[in-house]
Amino acid sequence: MSRNSVVWEFFDVSAVDESKAKCRLCNSMISHGGKGTATYNTSNLMKHLDKTHSEQWAAAKSVRSSKSSQPSQTAAGQLRIAAAFEAQTPWSFDDERSRRIHRVIGEMIAIDNESFHFVDRKGL
């Protein structure tokens, strides 16, 4: 069972019944699903924290979101799309790759009899 949610900073899964979790703040046993279906969730745990320990819960959520709302890599180590674009360094105007793209765009405009504004549009 994955425990990526911030709620797990406040709960421990019961050793006796995996469908329950014990609150570290008040020792309450809270159901988190799983009986008969083996699917667990954190909805009840979040509701408990929101109603019973709202200040601590709000603080933990703000700390988690301030650390990073979007990590730069996925769990598999792949760069996320935003991080990949941020890592890009634009080519200089005189770079061979840049020149090749400019030439191809110029040919496309000339061959297809396109307006020069063709390259200003965002596309569909």
Residue the block writes with tokens 């009840």: 44
Residue-number span of the structural domain to which 20 is assigned: 6-67
Residue 58 lies in a domain: yes
pLDDT at 48: 92
In angstroms, the Cα distances linking 28 to 11, 31, 34, 115 are 9, 10, 18, 70
- 14 and 50 in a single domain? The answer is yes
Q: How many domains does the chain have?
A: 2
pLDDT, tens digit (0-9, with 9 covering 90-100), for 69-113? 555 656 666 667 767 666 677 778 888 888 998 899 888 888 888
Instruction: Establish if 94 belongs to a structural domain.
Output: yes
| pLDDT at residue 24, rounded to an integer | 92
DSSP string, 69-104: SS-SB-TTSPBPHHHHHHH--PPPTTSHHHHHHHHH
pLDDT in tens, 12-66: 988 888 889 999 999 999 998 876 666 788 889 999 999 999 888 888 888 766 5
Domain identity same for 10 and 62: yes
Q: Do 48 and 16 share a domain, yes or no?
A: yes
110 domain residue, yes or no: yes
